[in-house]
Amino acid sequence: MTADFAEGGLGRQCAVLCKAGCCRYYSLPLETPRTDAQFDDVRWYLMHEGTHVYKHAGDWYLLVMNECKNLLPNNLCGIYETRPRICREYDATDCEYTGEVEYELYFDGAAKLEAWLLERKARRKRAPAAKALAKRSPKVARSRKRA
Ligand code: SF4
Ligand code: SF4
């Protein structure tokens, strides 16, 4: 976040328009869940207040909606000169406020993950039946042609 409050300046964008959106959470990479036990762990994370899980560009992340203690009431950084590397390197011209972040999956609670797991299970059950049907179809067509 910068202190450039001129019209169109990044300080105005961050503090006034966005209201310091990226200072109000942190996000960490997660091991990609594959087994029932791993998905159950993710379900447990999601049972905690302010905890979200998302998948972006093939990778899974834990997102914790928890405001930074250095954020001032005017949405500026209270330790701007010594702010951590991750804050200094975050590009305000290419962030979640200025651009669209595309999530492949986004769960803001355990119920959403549970629903997605059920849907995935049903999809996987249907898949072999569809495959078998696709395999059978050419044979049916050939036998009809011969007749
Ligand atoms: S999300 Fe973007 S606009 Fe919002 S405070 Fe962070 S860098 Fe600024
Ligand atoms: S240290 Fe400053 S810039 Fe970084 S998250 Fe906290 S308030 Fe925002």
What does the pLDDT look like over 40-71, one tens digit per residue?
999 999 999 999 999 999 999 999 999 999 99
Burial 22-33, CB ≥16 within 10 A → b, else e: bbeeeeeebeeb
The number of the ligand nearest the C-alpha atom of 82 reads: 2
Rounded to 10 deg, the angle between the 36-45 and 110-146 helix axes is: 140
Lowest mean pLDDT among 29-33, 96-100, 125-129: 125-129
- The domain total for the chain is 1
Q: Are strands 105-107 and 26-30 parallel, antiparallel or unpaired?
A: unpaired
Region 126-133: what's the mean pLDDT?
Answer: 70
Q: Are 48 and 55 in contact (CB under 8 A)?
A: no
91: in domain: yes
Q: Would residue 59 count as lying in a domain?
A: yes
- 10 located within any domain: no
16 Cβ inside 6 Å of ligand 1: no
Q: Which of 77, 96, 100 to mutate to test the pocket of ligand 1 (most atoms within 8 A of CB)?
A: 96
pLDDT tens by residue, 75-121? 999 999 999 999 999 999 989 999 888 899 999 999 999 999 999 99
SS3 content of the chain, % helix, strand, coil (to 5): 45, 15, 40
pLDDT above 80 (res 2): no
CA dihedral 11, 15, 18, 22 (to 10 degrees): 90
Q: Is 17 helix (H, G, I), strand (E, B) or coil?
A: helix
- Whether 18 maps to a domain, the answer reads no
* Nearest-CA residue for atom 8 of ligand 1: 14
19 close to ligand 1 (CB < 6 Angstrom): no
What range does the domain containing 96 cover?
23-146
Task: Decide if 119 is inside a domain.
Answer: yes
pLDDT at 145: 39
- Residue 137: inside a domain: yes
Contact of 59 with 42, CB cutoff 8 Å? no
Which residue has its alpha carbon closest to ligand 2 atom 1?
A: 83
Is residue 2, in this structure, part of any structural domain at all?
Answer: no
Angstrom CA distances, 25 to 21, 81, 105, stand at 8, 20, 18
- Which string of b and e fits 57-70 if b means at least 16 CB within 10 Å? eeebebbeeeebee
Higher model confidence: residue 29 or residue 138? Answer: 29
Higher pLDDT, 112 or 145: 112
pLDDT at residue 144 in the model: 42
Q: Does the model's pTM come out above 0.85?
A: no
With the most atoms of ligand 1 within 8 angstroms of its CB, the residue from 4, 5, 14, 87 to mutate is 14
- Give domain status of residue 14, yes or no: no
